[in-house]
Amino acid sequence: MKIAVITGASSGMGKWFAAYAKAFFPEIEQIWLIGRNQKRLQRVSDHIHLNSIILPLDLTDEEDIQAYADLLEKEKPDIKLLVNSAGMGLIGHFEDMSSIDSRKIIKINCEALTNITRLSLDYMHENSNIINLASSAAFVPQPGFAVYAASKSYVLSFSQALSKELKKAKIYVTAVCPGTVDTPFIKTAEKYQNIKGYKKFFMSDEKRVVITALWDAKKHRSKSVYGIWMKLLLLAAKLLPVRLLLMFMK
Ligand SMILES: NC(=O)c1ccc[n+]([C@@H]2O[C@H](COP(=O)([O-])OP(=O)(O)OC[C@H]3O[C@@H](n4cnc5c(N)ncnc54)[C@H](OP(=O)(O)O)[C@@H]3O)[C@@H](O)[C@H]2O)c1
């Protein structure tokens, strides 16, 4: 069966990837929705009116990762689309954050994304797509958002390298790099410190970011950058010295 696998499907952008995936990739016959919150996954499944199954998994838990591997082994699906949307961030100074919290960010944003991609790849063939949620925070180191920005630099670097490695196999990888997006992510991120006012000014609509990402994936683009401001930030990151960018970010 041709399927889409969407992590982070219980909330924010993940749930919109679930809702719009089939419009862009009509060959998809079933959608696998992954997240920890079973009730919210069920609500998304009911809302999208598509053939979907819910997989309440904590992707930072070894046993749950094994459960995903076992399910793949049992069902042997043909994964046409993998969306790695599960992720989290915490705003604040690194020294104010607990060690457990900073490790949580790396575990879900980097380790889980890498695990799910590796396991899924064995079930992907020609003309399939991987969409990885990076962030515009990947472009520049961010004082006050250091671990998150570094974790998203990992996602961007990994995705771009993978895009080259898998080109011959015709598996296309797109790293999505939005600025601030209006989702529950912000509330979680404000555990230590509130988001800076200027970031709210650049806030994007979640549906638009997702539609742009699906469109860019369909066009086999390795990067999806939503909005003029984030495109300008990317340009600045390429042209200006890091020292200057850090002064600006601060
Ligand atoms: N919103 C923004 O400003 C923004 C900007 C740039 C990039 N991004 C990135 O975009 C992606 C989606 O974010 P969003 O804005 O849609 O955030 P969100 O609404 O908070 O959604 C995050 C999703 O990740 C899942 N998740 C978190 N930890 C998990 C774990 N251990 N195991 C399984 N699932 C887990 C959550 O599901 P459960 O709670 O059910 O587990 C939820 O579905 C993230 O990677 C984020 O870093 C967000």
Query: Cα(86) to centroid of ligand 1, in Å?
Result: 4
Query: Cα(165) to centroid of ligand 1, in Å?
Result: 27
Question: For the residues 190-209, what does the mean pLDDT come to?
Answer: 85
Length of the chain: 250
Which residues, other chains included, contact 109 with Cβ-Cβ below 8 Å and sequence gap of 6+? 87, 88, 89, 148, 151, 152, 154, 155
Is the pLDDT at 199 greater than 80, yes or no? Answer: no
Query: What are the start-end ranges of the E strands in the chain?
Result: 2-7, 30-35, 52-56, 78-84, 128-133, 171-176, 223-224
**Pocket mutation for ligand 1, best pick of 15, 55, 85 (most atoms within 8 Å of C-beta):** 85
CA gap 194, 128 in Å, rounded: 39
H or E element that contains 69: helix 62-75
Q: Quick check: helix, strand or coil at residue 133?
A: strand
Is the pLDDT at 250 greater than 80, yes or no? Answer: no
This prediction's pTM: 0.96
Residue closest by Cα to atom 24 of ligand 1: 86
Is the pLDDT at 145 greater than 70, yes or no? Answer: yes
> What residue ranges do the domains of the chain occupy?
2-249
Ligand 1 pocket list (CB less than 6 A): 7-8, 10-14, 35-37, 40, 58-60, 85-89, 108, 133, 135, 178, 180-181, 183-185, 188
From the centroid of its chain, how far is CA 13? 8
- Cα torsion 114, 25, 185, 135 to 10°: value is 60
**Pocket mutation for ligand 1, best pick of 159, 181, 208 (most atoms within 8 Å of C-beta):** 181
For residue range 8-57, list pLDDT tens digits in order. Answer: 999 999 999 999 999 999 999 999 999 999 999 999 999 998 999 999 99
- Domain 2-249 annotated CATH 3.40.190.10: no
Residue closest by Cα to atom 7 of ligand 1: 135
- Provide the pLDDT for residue 194: 87
CA gap 123, 99 in Å, rounded: 35
Question: For the residues 116-131, what does the mean pLDDT come to?
Answer: 98
Is the pLDDT at 200 greater than 90, yes or no? Answer: no
Query: Cα(208) to centroid of ligand 1, in Å?
Result: 17
Question: For the residues 82-100, what does the mean pLDDT come to?
Answer: 97
